[in-house]
Amino acid sequence: MILELLFAERNHICSVCVANGHCELQSLAQQQGMTHVRFAYLYPEASVDASHERFVIDHNRCILCTRCVRVCDEIEGAHTWDVMGRGTNSRVITDLNQPWSTSETCTSCSKCVQVCPTGALFEKGKSVAEMAKRREFLPYLTLMRGQHK
């Protein structure tokens, strides 16, 4: 049911998503044998910010797992991402809710893009189902920083 609520909260359309086939939300839904969503979709008005030179944030696909916020703060140490608002109005933001490209703290390290479980954060130029995430660096980085994963 939680999965269905996640699907209903934003505009998740797998067939046209860059992360189709590489999406954790999609895999979980398949694993659980989810066939349809029992709840009315909210169809929130969510924007797409493609201002960054290399990456895009599509709020329609964001599930607010805040992995990007955590990796940016705890691993990269830049804390470019954070969550704004409350409830259905919540969004992940860069700096003062400004276009990603104008963010002064962002180091363009792409860690947020790699840890994003869905297609909300992806590299520019990737088409449908082409955005496979590479997370191999994470265990090494956490090890080097002496943290326990």
Partner 1 sequence: MKIAKPPLPSQDKRWKIVDAKMRRLGYKANALVETLHTVQESFGYLDEEALAFLAGALHVPPSKVYGVATFYNFFSLKPQGAHTCIVCLGTACYVKGADKVLMAVERYTGIKSGETTAHDSRTAFCGTKSYLLGLCG
Summarize as ranges the residues that interact with partner 1 (CB under 8 A): 73, 78-86, 93-97, 104-105
- Residue 15 Cβ vs partner 1, minimum distance, rounded to whole Å: 32
Distance CA 33, CA 141 (A): 35
CB of 96 to partner 1, least distance (A): 5
Q: Cβ closer to partner 1: 94 or 114?
A: 94
Q: What distance, in Å, lies between the first and last C-alpha atoms of the chain?
A: 28
Residue 86 C-beta: closest distance to partner 1, Å: 6
Structure tokens, 33: 């044998």
**Residue 75 CB neighbours (<10 A):** 19
How many residues in the chain? 149
Return the closest-CA partner of residue 23 out of 65, 54, 81.
Answer: 65
Decide whether 24 or 82 has the Cβ nearer to partner 1.
82
Q: Are 10 and 23 in contact (CB under 8 A)?
A: no
When the beta carbons of 106 and 131 are compared against partner 1, the nearer one is 106
We find the least distance from the C-beta atom of residue 118 to partner 1, in angstroms, to be 20
Residues whose CB falls within 8 Å of the CB of residue 144, separated by 6 or more in sequence, listed in order: none
> Given the complex with partner 1, which of 13 and 83 has the nearer CB atom?
83
